[in-house]
Amino acid sequence: MTDHHTGQRTPRLVALLALACGVAVGNVYFPQAVAPLVATGLGVSPGTAAGVVTATQFGYAAGIFLLVPLGDRLPPRPLLVTLLALTCLGLCAAAAAPGLPPLLAASVLVGASTVIAPLAGPLAAGLVPAERRGVVGGTLLSGALAGMLLSRTAGGALGDRLGWRAPYALAALLTLAVALLLARALPAAAAPSRQRYPRLLTEPVRLLFAEPSLRRSSFYQATVFAGFSAVWTGVALLLTGPAYGLGADAVGLLALVNAATMLVTPVAGRLVDRRGADAVNLVCFLLVLASAAVLALGGLGGTPGLLSLVAGTLLLDVGMQSGMVANQVRVYALAANVRSRLNTAYMTCAYLGGSLGSWLGSRAYAGYDWSGVCALLALLTGLGLVRHLGARAAARTVVAGGPGGEVCGASRGDRPPPEASGRKPYG
């Protein structure tokens, strides 16, 4: 999406987009809290019911790849409203599903159509100057994080009282309400591209190969988000299992404790604006690694274990979300007229990582209990950290070599957008 500043309307539009991100992202995450209830209600094993989480995230990754590029081709208002209407239909189908296979199919539809957040990010980035994109990105991420946390809390509590279908029905109502708000508030705007849909689908792949900054940002988020998804899939099994014997609402309450993370992401955005994306990424990797060690103590059970889970998930959420702000600022700086396609490549990689992480997390828990999930988190985060340290070392080598070299992938995310530097924009 190209830049189209809207003056005094910008704060209200950003706030509305943050709300839309929260509701849409909540549709992806509340199944993590209700998966144990699905197992009981449909008579399947907890590991099998966890497939609902994987199906939703797989659908989300597919929707990012197939639908988010349309943000560069279609006007934002009809596109966002239509997708929310499809999400509402999918949630209604899930609430009425008579068995696991129809629920899995509906979950894929919900995930694929609730891609409002990756569309809202490029749209909001075009509403403000380059020096404020970190703050705006942090604001949208705070909205998404609120949806992530509150949806788990509400989903678990409502599911415990009214059954696993009730959270799906409530999510459908909220999604419909947001669709009506966006239909009234979003301005009419033209899309920046006239490219045909097949070309739009191939562009993210081409950009991924062409842009080192895009590749490494995608890899960073894929590794950390895979570990994040593994932990939140495993923690539902841990809390409802024999170690704690708690209900599904305990997962939601644990997520609600991490609501403080919503205050951190705008701060992370300001730090990215001041210090650059690379410096923030490094701190975030270290926070997530530290969270793996703290979370491992959660297997002890009792009060010490619960306190460890609270502290560990808080560190994990702060590290993952703040790193996402840094990665998106780096990606959005590459070119204004292809931000949706850049975000498609980035978010597809991130949510493929998340889908894989959910699957690996359930397998790690089944084979090695909670300690296996924590080891998986440390391994995945270590992969991202090694890649980041390698990029920083390469950047220092190129800089030391003289002014003729370009820092491959290390400083590109911290420099002005291509259109500001005279670089030819993408077609």
What confidence tier does 37 reach under pLDDT thresholds 50, 70, 90? confident
Q: Out of 67-81, 201-215, 343-357, 394-408, pick the least confident.
A: 394-408
Domains of the chain: 7-416 (1.20.1250.20)
Please give the residue that has the higher pLDDT: either 120 or 190: 120
Six-digit token string for 328 = 């998106």
d(CA 384, CA 169): 38
What confidence tier does 339 reach under pLDDT thresholds 50, 70, 90? confident
- Residue 48, number of CB atoms within 10 A of its CB: 15
Please give the residue that has the higher pLDDT: either 215 or 8: 215
Tens-digit pLDDT profile for residues 118-154: 888 777 766 666 666 666 777 787 788 788 878 877 8
What confidence tier does 416 reach under pLDDT thresholds 50, 70, 90? very low
| 406 pLDDT higher than 50 | no
Please give the residue that has the higher pLDDT: either 418 or 161: 161
d(CA 219, CA 58): 17
Tens-digit pLDDT profile for residues 278-299: 889 999 999 999 999 999 999 8
Task: Average the pLDDT over 3-21 and give the result.
Answer: 71
What pLDDT is attached to residue 139?
Answer: 75
What confidence tier does 417 reach under pLDDT thresholds 50, 70, 90? very low
Tens-digit pLDDT profile for residues 225-272: 999 989 988 888 888 888 888 876 677 677 677 777 777 777 887 888
d(CA 73, CA 67): 10
What pLDDT is attached to residue 422?
Answer: 39
In this structure, are residues 65 and 59 in contact, taking their beta carbons and an 8 Å threshold? Answer: no
Rg (Cα) of the chain, in Å, rounded? 21
In this structure, are residues 298 and 312 in contact, taking their beta carbons and an 8 Å threshold? Answer: yes
| 418 pLDDT higher than 60 | no
Give me the helices (H) in 96-132, please: 100-113, 116-125
Task: Average the pLDDT over 361-383 and give the result.
Answer: 93
Task: Average the pLDDT over 89-116 and give the result.
Answer: 93
In this structure, are residues 347 and 118 in contact, taking their beta carbons and an 8 Å threshold? Answer: yes
In this structure, are residues 140 and 120 in contact, taking their beta carbons and an 8 Å threshold? Answer: yes
* Mean pLDDT across the chain: 82
**Phi-psi category of 188—alpha, beta or left, where left has phi over 0 and alpha has psi -120 to 50?**
beta
Residue type, 414: D
What pLDDT is attached to residue 222?
Answer: 95
Task: Average the pLDDT over 103-108 and give the result.
Answer: 93
Tens-digit pLDDT profile for residues 54-102: 889 889 888 888 888 888 788 888 899 999 999 999 999 999 999 889 9
What pLDDT is attached to residue 414?
Answer: 43
33-37, 79-83, 193-197, 419-423: which has the highest mean pLDDT? 79-83
- Residue 44, number of CB atoms within 10 A of its CB: 16
In this structure, are residues 35 and 28 in contact, taking their beta carbons and an 8 Å threshold? Answer: no
Percent of all residues in the chain with a pLDDT value above 70, rounded to a whole number: 86
Percent of all residues in the chain with a pLDDT value above 90, rounded to a whole number: 31
Range 294-303 contact pairs with CB under 8 angstroms and sequence separation of 24 or more: 295/231, 295/373, 295/374, 295/377, 296/370, 296/371, 296/374, 298/235, 298/238, 298/370, 298/374, 299/238, 299/243, 299/369, 299/370, 299/371, 299/374, 301/243, 301/244
Task: Average the pLDDT over 205-231 and give the result.
Answer: 92
Residues 50, 52, 57, 60: what is their CA dihedral angle, to the nearest 10 degrees?
A: 180
What pLDDT is attached to residue 192?
Answer: 62
